[in-house]
Amino acid sequence: MNKPQIRKAMRLQRRSLTAQQQRQAARGLQRSLLQPGALLAARRIALYLVNDGEINPEQIIKQLIRMGKEVYLPSLHPLRRGELAFIRYQPGTRMSNNRFGIAEPDFRYGKRCQARFLSVICLPLVAFDLHGNRMGMGGGFYDRSLAFTQRAGKHPRLIGCAHEFQCLATLPAEAWDIPLSAIATDTALRWVPAS
């Protein structure tokens, strides 16, 4: 299958999950992300709010806030077209829906953190393979926002979050695709071997 076919099939499959299956998957994701080396030692952690059947990190967001971690959510950058800003999220954060209908912290009022200063970024996936290749929704927002990770220097650990069934043997990759450090699913946390 080509990328559009993979994207269509995976989105359909994850949207077909029942509410009970989604809750069970979210609990599995929480167990995976709480394994040693994933998030517990990190200070600034970016996650996302669920959309389109994605695996839901809401419980881990609440738990990390209770643990005193700084949690950030992506927001469409109003000045850098096609890029994301990462804005601090806490209970009571002013939210608004972006042009895709996804809730995000209001850029005008939130405390921002440049992606390079985050410890970990957990990002949603449409599909992935065990080599760290990822497929998103096709807008390229994460790829553009994280392009700096292709250069030498300190950068955040990138953990893709997905349902286990979104794993493929191999995934077509482009030169601009940003590889993952690990993949967390409802059944496992898998570290990607360094290339």
What is the pLDDT tens value at each position of the chain, 195 positions in all? 788 899 999 999 999 999 999 999 999 999 999 988 889 899 999 999 999 999 999 999 999 999 999 999 999 988 788 899 999 999 999 998 888 888 999 888 889 999 999 999 999 999 999 888 999 887 889 989 998 898 888 889 999 999 999 999 988 777 777 889 999 999 999 999 875
Residue 80 backbone dihedrals phi, psi, to 5 degrees: -110, 90
In this structure, the number of other CB atoms found within 10 A of the CB of residue 115 comes to: 22
The predicted model scores a pTM of 0.93
Within a 10 A sphere around the Cβ of 138, how many other Cβ atoms?
Answer: 10
Taking the CB of residue 68, how many other CB atoms lie within 10 A of it? 7
Whole-Å CA distances, 140 to 39, 54, 74, 85, 135: 25, 17, 13, 14, 10
Kindly indicate whether the domain formed by 3-62+117-173+181-190 is annotated with CATH number 3.20.20.140: no
